[in-house]
Structure 1
């Protein structure tokens, strides 16, 4: 028999997660700072990496924290609303995945958003922190070694479900694998540029690439 209460909770957390994830903090912060529309410079992305191309490291850091924070809050909020003890792990994972989808396809921006890396890492940290810690370390190591944000992100998010196999529940493995696939889809242009050797490095302006 279908548990209608559980299905209702899944639907509610998914909608709430999506709406929270759809808040475009990078766009809001750069406009408040008088830098105009972040979508008209660099990669056109609303994430922290493109905000960094404005030269405002403080805004890039704030965007990173807020974007990752909304993913974590969506997941933790679902867990809190359902009750911390004995909560089904599917609820925070569904809310987190919905937040990433909201960031990538925000209704407020005609479904043209970011690539969801920071939001995804926030979700992973909030739902399975050991996996999130390893994913963040992977990102840092790859970024330090190669200075490609996209390569670092794809490596970290591809390995996250692998890390989750011994460290988390099957629903985490499935959720993180889905987020990894979504990241690859959103980074398909970056993958082409990486293969061509024209991808922009961290801290490098788009016009200076190649």
Structure 2
């Protein structure tokens, strides 16, 4: 089983390394999301640079980068903790992409995708938490942080065996948002619906 874990962890990292934001922006002739806008190659920045369709494509691709390797690992019989390592590998690929100079995004969508095999209940609750936090406060980064903090608690009541892997993912995402957390405390984090030209940093 160890060789399979190593293999799937490597596959997950390589899948995660495919930067959806960079690829979609190139296809649509948009500015490089690593150097324009918030300089974060993620869905929110692509939305500000190119609008809904490119952002939606980035979101779907980023989610699949997490779902596919974890789901395949699940069907190969990997235990929950091993699935957690596969999921983290996919997220690390997104954060430090091999194909794009190890400069990636926050991995929120990829982490969400990695949680999908746990069940639709977790997915639904996580999305609702994100939407509620976004509606109340307007910060994409804060919404993501709140959603991942709640995810392990949801998992405990849905499929307790997967609580640790989901908690591992949540911790990674929170650490990745360190800069956003500091900006939130200092009042410098922009809201999603601010004018595009005024946005400098975001999730």
Could you tell me which runs of 5 or more consecutive residues in structure 1 were left unpaired when the two chains were aligned: 1-5
Name 1:23's counterpart in structure 2: 18
Structure 1 counterpart of 2:109, from 104, 112, 118: 118
Structure 2 counterpart of 1:42, from 37, 43, 54: 37
Shift of 1:127: 2.7
Residues 72 and 122 in structure 1, CA contact (< 8 A), matched pair in contact too? yes
User: Alpha carbon RMSD of aligned pairs, Å?
Assistant: 1.8
Name 2:9's counterpart in structure 1: 14
Residues 41 and 105 in structure 2, CA contact (< 8 A), matched pair in contact too? yes
Residues 106-148 of structure 1: per-residue CA shift (max 9 Å, x gap): 1122222110101111111123332222111100111111110
- Output the CA distance in 2 between the equivalents of 1:146 and 1:46: 23
Moved over 6 A (4+): none
Give TM-score, length-normalised by structure 1. 0.88
Residues 21 and 103 in structure 1, CA contact (< 8 A), matched pair in contact too? yes
- Output the CA distance in 1 between the equivalents of 2:98 and 2:65: 16
Higher RCO, 1 or 2 (CA under 8 Å, sep at least 6)?
2
Residues 51-83 of structure 1: per-residue CA shift (max 9 Å, x gap): 011142110011111101111111112223x16
Could you tell me which runs of 5 or more consecutive residues in structure 2 were left unpaired when the two chains were aligned: none
Residues 13 and 91 in structure 1, CA contact (< 8 A), matched pair in contact too? no
Structure 1 counterpart of 2:71, from 66, 70, 76: 76
Q: Identify the range of structure 1 (90-99 vs 173-182) with the bigger mean alpha-carbon deviation.
A: 90-99
Structure 2 counterpart of 1:134, from 99, 102, 125: 125
Name 1:3's counterpart in structure 2: none
Give TM-score, length-normalised by structure 2. 0.91
- Output the CA distance in 1 between the equivalents of 2:49 and 2:130: 22
Residues 53 and 203 in structure 1, CA contact (< 8 A), matched pair in contact too? no
Name 1:32's counterpart in structure 2: 27
Shift of 1:104: 1.0
Name 2:52's counterpart in structure 1: 57
DSSP-derived class of the 2:34 partner: helix
